[in-house]
């Protein structure tokens, strides 16, 4: 009796278990089939997985990698770049441009017939309003047009004037932050060309551009859905009806793309893409991010790192080839501070090589004995799957051989940034991503400039280098600029407080069916370039 009743109790208790199990199975099987039908339906959907760095879809405030992908797809700019080539700006909403011989005036002829997604034409007034708005709104990308005067000469001509020569302007204009808004729509929703602008909330819910896609839904931490602009004015119509950009962590990205749940995975590290099979395409390119070491020149911060011979010991003591091994396939050594694909980059053969004996000699000459220095870096930040930790540890080991003790002090990025930006780090390991693909962006590394000051390098510290910098800033023709920037970097490598280390690789994995993918240093990928086999 007792036995039997117990068994019955057990069966009763198991009932809910069985029910839950059945429900789970039902859900699983139905999910499996619905997952595949979504892909093979009549409308073409492209799913892109990336780790979000996204704050807004308002082009005038966009400055983050994911935001630039969205901006590039939804807004057209006056000029753009073809594929991955960033050495030559090509027409977009402007059909031609001309830079005056003194480099201060850029005249752009607008294309006729370009229309916004609502069908209204793109006019010179839209251009004037959009550019002035970015500049005067004091948002993150405002500096792109600092000191640039925007004027409408006639209905099809826009003139941009700067006080000093600004040959970088044609390279800045393709930045998606300078996308042209439908000014009528934007103004209706609170857009003004001053800090009181209120249009962002609207622009986060719907796009007001002339690009090949429009925003269907936008969420900064989960996903962005784009839909094809049926009235796109350009010759090349968007291939996909719908593009879903999802926030997915990189381990999951890999499984998603392998299983076919997504078609593009943007943030896989070199290790993750090795041995990828199943008809997937792996695009390995060198990214435009430059990792560098900074040695503070402010004697108040460090008596050791401000010693030029000590910096020489650092430069010669680091094993660059070893760092490249850590960074994995696709990465290259940074010869200078300007990335390899930009105009004015130093040729690879001018890169520093390791010389332990030379480093020891320099250290002896410096007069510093048994130095101990602190190396600060952001602990949780990864750049294309590469984290700072192993690089810092390798540098620590390299310098130990030379006789320099390095204390590595990681901190969360928000904390580490404080010390870095205030110029308080003794040694710092950081990276620089280009604001625009022009060498003038890297003049920030000179004494008294943005990054120079972060290394405690005050204006007037290196007269010769500073005058070389001024010369580079004033050069207008491509040849003169190339020469001037090479010169700046050679001098910077010889006596500056920055030691360029590596450019990590950028690995993008796509499904076999996706065509036309190119890695772009500014907007990572142009969704509109993606086609289907």
Partner 1 sequence: MSPTSAPSKDQDGGAALPSQNRRGRAAGRRPFVRFLVRRIVTALLLALGITLVTFILTNLVPGDPAAANLGQRAIGDPAIVAQWRADHGLDKPLPQQYLIHLSGVLHGDFGQSQQSHRPVADDLAEFVPATLELAGAAILISLVLGVAFGVVAALRRDRLSDHILRVTSLFGISVPTFWLALVAFYVFFYRLQITPGSGRIDPGMTAPPHVTGLYTIDAALSGQWDVFASAAAHLITPALVLALYTIGLLTRFTRSAVLEVLGQDYVRAARAKGLPARVILFRYVLRSALVPVITVAGLAFGSLLSGTVLVEAIFAWPGIGQYAYKSATSLDLPAVMGVGLVVGVVYLVINLIVDVLYGVIDPRVRIS
Residues in region 214-273 near partner 1 by CB under 8 A: 219-223, 242, 244, 246-249, 251-252, 255-256, 258-259, 261-262
**Which helix (H) or strand (E) element contains residue 172?**
helix 169-172
Q: Interface residues for partner 1 in 52-81 (CB under 8 A)? A: 52, 55-56, 61, 63
Strand order across the 45-50 sheet:
213-218, 223-228, 242-247, 45-50, 264-268, 505-510, 281-286
Q: Interface residues for partner 1 in 189-208 (CB under 8 A)? A: 195, 200-201, 204
Among the listed residues 245, 74, 80, 68, the one whose alpha carbon sits nearest the alpha carbon of residue 140: 68
Q: Looking at beta carbons only, is 105 or 142 nearer to partner 1?
A: 142
Q: Looking at beta carbons only, is 47 or 114 nearer to partner 1?
A: 47
- Residue linked to tokens 């073409």: 44
Task: Tally Cβ neighbours within 10 Å of residue 283.
Answer: 17
**Applying CB under 8 A, which of residues 450, 459, 494, 532 lies at the interface with partner 1?**
450
Q: Interface residues for partner 1 in 502-531 (CB under 8 A)? A: none
Helix and strand totals (H; E) in the chain:
16, 24
Answer yes or no: are the C-beta atoms of 341 and 521 closer than 8 Å.
Answer: yes
**Applying CB under 8 A, which of residues 418, 477, 494, 515 lies at the interface with partner 1?**
418
Q: Looking at beta carbons only, is 47 or 429 nearer to partner 1?
A: 47
φ/ψ of 349, rounded to 5, equals -70, -10
Q: Looking at beta carbons only, is 232 or 445 nearer to partner 1?
A: 445
Compute the least distance from the CB of residue 401 to partner 1, in Å. 33
Compute the least distance from the CB of residue 181 to partner 1, in Å. 17
What string marks each residue from 106 to 125 as x (binds partner 1 by CB under 8 A) or -? Answer: --------------------
Compute the least distance from the CB of residue 115 to partner 1, in Å. 27
Task: DSSP letter for 441, please.
Answer: G
Q: Interface residues for partner 1 in 132-151 (CB under 8 A)? A: 138-143
Q: Looking at beta carbons only, is 110 or 134 nearer to partner 1?
A: 134
Q: Looking at beta carbons only, is 291 or 432 nearer to partner 1?
A: 432
Residue 356 contacts partner 1 per CB under 8 A: no
Task: Tally Cβ neighbours within 10 Å of residue 249.
Answer: 11
Q: Looking at beta carbons only, is 369 or 414 nearer to partner 1?
A: 414
What string marks each residue from 3 to 22 as x (binds partner 1 by CB under 8 A) or -? Answer: --xx-xxx-xxx-xx--x--
Compute the least distance from the CB of residue 255 to partner 1, in Å. 5
Compute the least distance from the CB of residue 303 to partner 1, in Å. 26
Compute the least distance from the CB of residue 90 to partner 1, in Å. 25
φ/ψ of 238, rounded to 5, equals -60, 135
Answer yes or no: are the C-beta atoms of 98 and 107 closer than 8 Å.
Answer: yes
Residue 412 contacts partner 1 per CB under 8 A: yes
Strand pairing report for 242-247 and 45-50: parallel
3-state DSSP call for residue 215? Answer: strand
Q: Looking at beta carbons only, is 353 or 422 nearer to partner 1?
A: 422
Answer yes or no: are the C-beta atoms of 44 and 239 closer than 8 Å.
Answer: yes
Q: Looking at beta carbons only, is 276 or 480 nearer to partner 1?
A: 276
Among the listed residues 505, 524, 64, the one whose alpha carbon sits nearest the alpha carbon of residue 273: 505
Question: Rounded to whole angstroms, how far apart are CA atoms 274 and 509?
Answer: 11
Please, where are the H alpha helices in 217-336?
Answer: 250-259, 270-273, 308-317, 320-327
Q: Looking at beta carbons only, is 352 or 379 nearer to partner 1?
A: 379
Compute the least distance from the CB of residue 63 to partner 1, in Å. 4
Q: Interface residues for partner 1 in 311-350 (CB under 8 A)? A: none
Residue 413 contacts partner 1 per CB under 8 A: yes
**Applying CB under 8 A, which of residues 154, 414, 460, 464 lies at the interface with partner 1?**
414
Q: Looking at beta carbons only, is 223 or 493 nearer to partner 1?
A: 223
**Applying CB under 8 A, which of residues 372, 405, 415, 477 lies at the interface with partner 1?**
415
Pick the piece of the chain touching partner 1 (CB under 8 A) from 106-114, 342-350, 366-374, 416-424.
416-424
Question: Rounded to whole angstroms, how far apart are CA atoms 406 and 395?
Answer: 8
Task: Tally Cβ neighbours within 10 Å of residue 454.
Answer: 23
Compute the least distance from the CB of residue 281 to partner 1, in Å. 19
Tokens of residue 453, six digits: 């000051």
Answer yes or no: are the C-beta atoms of 492 and 498 closer than 8 Å.
Answer: yes
Question: Rounded to whole angstroms, how far apart are CA atoms 91 and 44?
Answer: 29
What string marks each residue from 19 to 48 as x (binds partner 1 by CB under 8 A) or -? Answer: -x---x--xxxxxx-xx--xx-x-x-x-x-
Q: How many residues does the chain have?
A: 533
**Which helix (H) or strand (E) element contains residue 183?**
helix 183-188
- Count, residues near partner 1 per rule CB under 8 A: 73
Q: Looking at beta carbons only, is 8 or 88 nearer to partner 1?
A: 8
3-state DSSP call for residue 369? Answer: coil
Tokens of residue 134, six digits: 């970015």
């Amino acid at each position: 009796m007792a036995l039997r009743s117990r068994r019955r109790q057990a069966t009763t208790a198991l009932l809910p278990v069985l029910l839950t199990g059945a429900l789970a199975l039902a859900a699983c099987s139905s999910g499996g089939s619905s997952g595949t039908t979504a892909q093979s339906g009549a409308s073409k959907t492209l799913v892109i997985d990336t780790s979000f760095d996204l704050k807004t879809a308002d082009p005038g405030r966009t400055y983050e990698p994911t935001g630039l992908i969205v901006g590039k797809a939804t807004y057209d700019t006056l000029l753009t770049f073809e594929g991955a080539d960033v050495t030559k700006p090509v027409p977009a909403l402007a059909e031609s441009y001309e830079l005056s011989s003194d480099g201060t005036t850029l005249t752009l002829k607008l294309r006729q017939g370009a229309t916004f997604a609502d069908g209204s034409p793109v006019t010179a007034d839209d251009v004037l309003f959009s550019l002035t708005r970015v500049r005067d709104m004091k948002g993150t990308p405002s500096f792109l047009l600092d000191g640039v005067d925007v004027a409408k000469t006639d209905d099809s001509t826009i003139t941009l004037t700067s006080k000093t020569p600004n040959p970088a302007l044609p390279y800045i204009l393709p930045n998606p932050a300078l996308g042209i808004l439908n000014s009528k729509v934007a103004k209706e929703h609170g857009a003004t060309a001053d800090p009181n602008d209120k249009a962002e909330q609207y622009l986060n819910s719907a796009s007001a551009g002339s690009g090949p896609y429009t925003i269907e839904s936008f969420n900064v931490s989960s996903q962005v859905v784009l839909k094809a602009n049926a009235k796109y004015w350009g010759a090349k119509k968007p291939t996909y009806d719908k593009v879903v950009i999802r926030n997915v962590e990189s381990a999951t990205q890999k499984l998603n793309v392998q299983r076919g749940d997504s078609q593009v995975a943007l943030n896989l590290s070199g290790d993750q893409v090795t041995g990828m099979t199943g008809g997937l395409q792996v695009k390995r390119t060198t990214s435009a991010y430059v990792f560098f070491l900074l040695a503070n020149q402010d004697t108040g911060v460090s008596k050791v790192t401000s010693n030029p011979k000590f910096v020489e010991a650092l430069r010669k003591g680091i094993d660059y080839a070893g760092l490249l091994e850590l960074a994995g396939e696709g990465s290259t050594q940074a010869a200078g501070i300007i990335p390899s694909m930009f105009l004015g980059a130093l040729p690879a053969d001018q890169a520093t090589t390791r010389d332990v004996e030379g480093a020891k000699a320099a250290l002896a000459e410096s007069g510093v004995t048994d130095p101990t220095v602190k190396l600060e870096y952001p602990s949780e930040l990864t750049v294309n799957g590469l984290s700072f930790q192993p690089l810092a540890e390798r540098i620590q080991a390299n310098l130990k051989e030379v006789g320099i003790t390095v204390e590595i002090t990681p901190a969360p990025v928000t904390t580490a940034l404080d010390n870095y930006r205030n110029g308080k780090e003794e040694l710092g390991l950081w990276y620089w991503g280009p604001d625009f693909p022009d060498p003038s962006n890297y003049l920030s590394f000179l004494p008294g400039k943005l990054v120079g000051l972060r290394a405690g390098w005050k204006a007037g510290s290196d007269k010769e280098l500073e005058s070389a910098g001024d010369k580079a800033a004033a050069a207008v023709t491509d040849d003169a600029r190339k020469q001037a920037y090479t010169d700046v970097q050679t001098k910077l490598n010889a006596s500056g407080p920055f030691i360029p280390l590596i450019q990590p690789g950028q690995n993008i994995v796509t499904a076999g069916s996706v065509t036309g993918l190119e890695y772009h240093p500014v907007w990572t990928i142009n969704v509109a370039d993606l086609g289907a086999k």
